Amino acid sequence: MRFKFFDPLFYANVWLLIGKREEFNEELDNSIYETDEAVTVQITIGDTVKFYVWIKNCSRYYNMVHETLHLAHRILNHAGIDITNDNIELVAYYQNFWIRKFWKKMSKYVK
């Protein structure tokens, strides 16, 4: 499964990929290892930056939550925002933004 999102605040193109790693290895530049259950990858081609979150099994909610922190960090870092004690609340809210978006899609497929 592939779900595309766009965050207009930070102009971030984000893909949520769910399924077997073999389905996405080429797309993710072979960044998924056999032992991985979830990965966040940032790929830059020319001026285009894409953020991918791959999750092997959508019923493992905790993997998605873990990866949304990596996603938030990568997007904020790309936007030139360093994470500090002064803006940690921003990071928490931004991570929650992605958790809600992803879970809205993922929850439809949880058995």
**Per-domain residue ranges for the chain?**
2-109
Element (H, E) at 44: strand 38-45
Residue 55 has pLDDT above 70, yes or no: yes
More confident residue, 22 or 52: 52
Q: Which residue has the tokens 């960090």?
A: 73
Q: What is this structure's pTM? A: 0.91
Q: What is the pLDDT of residues 57-71, one digit of tens each?
A: 888 889 999 999 999
Q: Which residue has the tokens 């990568």?
A: 74
Residue 111 has pLDDT above 90, yes or no: no
Report the candidate in 97, 21, 96, 89 with the shortest Cα–Cα distance to residue 52. Answer: 21
Single-letter code of the amino acid located at 45: I
pLDDT computed for residue 10 by the predictor: 93
